[in-house]
Structure 1
Amino acid sequence: MSTGYRSIPSVEKLLSDSRVEELIDVYSRESLVYLVRRSLEQVRQEIAEGKPSPSFDEMVDSIASQAASLWRPKPIPLINATGVVLHTNLGRSPLSDEAVEAMLQAARGYTNLELDLADGARGSRQSHVESLLCQITGAEAALVVNNNASAVLLGLSAIANGKEVIVSRGEAVEIGGGFRIPDVLRQSGAALVEVGTTNRTYLADYESALTQDTAAMLKVHTSNFRVIGFTHEATVEELAALGAGRGTPVLHDQGSGCLLDTTRFGLAREPMVQDSIAAGADLVFFSGDKLLGGPQAGIVAGKRELGESLEKVPIWRMISTPVDALEKRARSWQKSVGDTAQVVQGLSAIGGGSLPGESIPTWLLSIGAQGTPEGAQGLAKRLREADTPVIARIEDDRVLLDPRTVLTTEEAALLAALKSALGA
């Protein structure tokens, strides 16, 4: 037997170590037994691969580290300093304070989720949101499901199962997470009828494809996919007029759930839900997260305007923050960090599949690699490993932090992480 194997301690010896016993008080003996056995199995595997056996203290340190990582609450809060407002990997939209408080109130006990308090009979969970959605969008009815893909699938299954749905060839796209329009149609039981070309589709293309087997015409927001130049598409208004004359419903996968005029922020105009309904779309599908600033949800609305979003919904507060205010914050960060950092102009991205290709001017805190062998990647790694992880972006071997996506309540933690990472 290899001398490496002889050095492996028993489970009981590790469990009886005072440092592991302290962990048992926190995580329970059963949990630590599992973790110790898993660690010893890993040591045996490493020895079999020709690696040296770790010392007893190294094994204890590894077990403590694994315990802290394994039972740390997940996901963990972190600071988004990338400048990507709707960062899919970081949970997209932060919730407003009002939304968080409402969730806390509901989560602490029982609620009237499906109870009509007026008569004591069973109610519908949709009743809590339908009237609000109708008021905001101008729709006659609305419901909420798990996500926008579910909303589209539900609508198509109800309307077009066993029949045909007409889609512009330029809109038969794949969006994030494998959401492919042809696949969704197939799952709903509908047959896809593509019309037009990738870059130009006219109303006449839809009209010529209409048959007695047509269940609907579907218009799709193409998210991050955009064709620029020699292009044309039929509008929702045109399709609605055609559909009304032929008795064919028009469905609009609006995507992002935009309820505000994005041109107010110097961005391209994003289709708004209320505009689609006012234009005559029979069903509009959109996300409840992303630009709506809520939890993941998909909404179906079948026709009005919003007011408080700029102040209360974090992502709109981020988008609408004046550039001079961002410069002031970045210079404040620089003053705190020191001469290792510079304040430079840059761009923030909207992200999340919304407003494809759109960016907003910003000011960035730019930090060099400090002469370390790891370069900017090493500094970014140290920031990610902070007590409150900080996620930055890297360009030209410099770490860039964008104040646009950093909440003011996170600044102290961000600066602490920066100073620690730079000190390292």
Structure 2
Amino acid sequence: MPKHSRKNRDADADKRAESIRALPQIDECLRAAEANPELARFGRSYLKVMLQRAQAELRAAILSGRDTHPRARDTLIDAIVREVARAAAADEPVLEPVVNATGVVLHTNLGRAILAEPAIEAVEMAARSAVNLEYDLETGGRGDRDSIVEDEICALTGAEGATVVNNNAAAVVLALNSLAEGREVIVSRGEMIEIGGSFRLPDVMAKSGAILREVGTTNRTHPRDYADAIGTETALLLKVHPSNYRVVGFTSEVTLEDLVEIGRARGIDVMEDLGAGALIDLTEYGIPREPIVRERIAAGAAVVTFSGDKLLGGPQAGVIVGRRAAIERIKRNPLKRALRCDKLTLAALAATMRLYLRSRDLRKELPTLRILGRSASEIASIAPRAREIVAERLGAGYIVEIVDASSQVGSGAMPVEELKSVALRVTHPEKSASAITAMFRRARIIGRVLDDSFHLDLRTIEDPAVFAVKLETD
């Protein structure tokens, strides 16, 4: 290497080292930040964290050679404080409201079900005030938080008992651990599901302490497969609703009724994981039918688990219903405390259950049911206004067309069912679909790319004015 090149490199290294040594201490920056009027409303801990971030970014810039100008200490302090003021002004809450125009109604990444107004009001009340979460107002003694929702759940499902945990995966783990730890649980190979986030039934069963016993094949399982597998170590027969897939063609599965008959003959209970879980006949609202929890209990399942934030239309929760003896065993499990719901979830779930029991027009009051039940003609009626708003906000060059579309329920529910819908297709002769997607995303409008063009599915858009509020001309 030439001497002058090595000399220049050494000089650059010395300059960077000098700049690093000149960086001010955080305490010095903190005093300056606390004297800055723009930062007066922020707490000391927050300012310290933001100053550390700003200083770390400046140090990285110096070490990488992006910042090559040595500065006096006071100048550096001022630069760091100004960067903190800028970052603090732009520091928004992590959770932001977005417009779901993806065509997926219960979109896991976008928070699944939108709560009904009574549930929102119940959450706000519980958040603002002390509540009788585990306090018996009649006796003054300790209460049971399950009692907040148990009566309503039992009334809706016909179950003898019910308990609630923080999601359906937790419900499955808790039920299996309570009823089958160290013993065998028989399940069809065709029901060995994996859903989003790598929830795999074999892994969940292993964590629960239950021993998996697979029977049948991927596409065909018969009653004799279960009967032949039952032994002295069998604790449960498990049926799992294939929430996010369907096996078609040359297939055979054992019905819940047949499984209950097999179990009853051998003194073995049956548990069913319904996944999404429907409390009512959805076909009455123009939605494809899903297994109804009440029917599964009537068919003889000892325990049924399902989600609160899917087809039920409530908050994220895992609901466990069934025979009183089984539910009491589950409630006594020490894991129950680790998986229990907080007051906000229970408030929202209780309000949602009351809607199911009391509402004269459930479709009107429950957003999930209303959105899933919208007809294509109803959606089409708002399409011209939506197209007009989007086209006006985007300006010249953009082409906004009304097209037929297919929506999905989402969150693993009804995987092969498509709901007829209407969408806006947005294109531009000089911009790619990904560029248009990014532009809408910056406006907090989430759509989807289909056939190399950007689409806004209008199923979840009840008022087209939301586009005018969110969308800015790029």
Common fold: TM-score over 0.5: yes
State the alpha-carbon separation in 2 of the partners of residues 246 and 30 from structure 1. Answer: 63
Cα deviation for residue 65 of structure 1 reads: 4.7
Contact 1:384 1:390 in 2 (8 A): yes
- Aligned pairs for 1:179-190 (under 5 A) are 179-190=199-210
Cα 1:167–1:35, aligned 2, differ >3 Å: closer, same or farther?
same
- Tell me which moved more, 254-263 or 217-226: 254-263
Match of 1:86 in 2: 106
- Tell me which moved more, 335-344 or 74-83: 335-344
Q: Residue by residue, what CA displacement relative to the aligned partner does 1:257-309 show, whole Å, maximum 9, x if unpaired? A: 21233344555432121111111111001111111111111111119986653
Cα 1:28–1:119, aligned 2, differ >3 Å: closer, same or farther?
closer
Match of 1:327 in 2: 380
What letter matches 2:449 in structure 1?
I
State the alpha-carbon separation in 2 of the partners of residues 15 and 381 from structure 1. Answer: 40
- Tell me which moved more, 222-231 or 306-315: 306-315
RMSD: 2.8
Q: Residue by residue, what CA displacement relative to the aligned partner does 1:333-391 show, whole Å, maximum 9, x if unpaired? A: 1122337311111111111011112220111111113624xx232222222223xx111
State the alpha-carbon separation in 2 of the partners of residues 270 and 292 from structure 1. Answer: 11
Match of 1:195 in 2: 215
Q: What secondary structure does 1:321 align onto?
A: coil
State the alpha-carbon separation in 2 of the partners of residues 289 and 193 from structure 1. Answer: 30
Contact 1:115 1:122 in 2 (8 A): yes
State the alpha-carbon separation in 1 of the partners of residues 139 and 383 from structure 2. Answer: 56
Match of 1:382 in 2: 439
Cα 1:97–1:370, aligned 2, differ >3 Å: closer, same or farther?
farther
What letter matches 1:358 in structure 2?
E
Question: Of 61, 66, 70, which residue of structure 1 is paired with 2:87?
Answer: 66
Cα deviation for residue 152 of structure 1 reads: 1.3
Cα 1:181–1:49, aligned 2, differ >3 Å: closer, same or farther?
same
Cα 1:385–1:9, aligned 2, differ >3 Å: closer, same or farther?
farther
Contact 1:267 1:359 in 2 (8 A): no
Match of 1:261 in 2: 281
- Tell me which moved more, 89-98 or 119-128: 119-128
Question: Of 376, 401, 404, which residue of structure 2 is paired with 1:342?
Answer: 401
Contact 1:333 1:415 in 2 (8 A): no
For structure 2, the 5+ residue unaligned runs are: 1-13, 324-352, 392-397
Q: What secondary structure does 2:144 align onto?
A: coil
Match of 1:318 in 2: 371
**2:461 paired with 1:406:** yes
**2:426 paired with 1:371:** no
- The number of aligned residues is 413
Cα deviation for residue 42 of structure 1 reads: 1.3
Match of 1:270 in 2: 290
**2:128 paired with 1:108:** yes
Cα 1:13–1:239, aligned 2, differ >3 Å: closer, same or farther?
closer
**2:345 paired with 1:286:** no
Q: Identity across aligned pairs (percent)? A: 42
Cα deviation for residue 396 of structure 1 reads: 3.2
Q: What secondary structure does 2:381 align onto?
A: helix
**2:183 paired with 1:163:** yes
Question: Of 15, 19, 42, which residue of structure 2 is paired with 1:2?
Answer: 15
Q: What secondary structure does 1:250 align onto?
A: strand
Match of 2:470 in 1: 417
Cα deviation for residue 330 of structure 1 reads: 1.8
Match of 1:23 in 2: 38
- Tell me which moved more, 131-140 or 154-163: 154-163
- Tell me which moved more, 198-207 or 339-348: 339-348
Cα deviation for residue 228 of structure 1 reads: 1.4
Contact 1:93 1:289 in 2 (8 A): yes
Cα 1:144–1:37, aligned 2, differ >3 Å: closer, same or farther?
closer
- Tell me which moved more, 363-372 or 222-231: 363-372
What letter matches 1:347 in structure 2?
S
What letter matches 1:278 in structure 2?
A
Q: What secondary structure does 2:424 align onto?
A: strand
Question: Of 449, 462, 466, which residue of structure 2 is paired with 1:394?
Answer: 449
Cα 1:285–1:219, aligned 2, differ >3 Å: closer, same or farther?
same
Question: Of 346, 351, 360, which residue of structure 1 is paired with 2:410?
Answer: 351
State the alpha-carbon separation in 1 of the partners of residues 33 and 253 from structure 2. Answer: 71
Q: What secondary structure does 2:214 align onto?
A: strand
Match of 2:260 in 1: 240
Cα deviation for residue 413 of structure 1 reads: 3.7
Normalised to the residue count of structure 1, the TM-score between the two structures is 0.88
What letter matches 2:254 in structure 1?
A
Q: Residue by residue, what CA displacement relative to the aligned partner does 1:24-65 show, whole Å, maximum 9, x if unpaired? A: 123245533432332232122133223345998997775445
- Aligned pairs for 1:33-182 (under 5 A) are 33-52=48-67, 62-70=83-91, 72-182=92-202
Cα deviation for residue 249 of structure 1 reads: 0.1
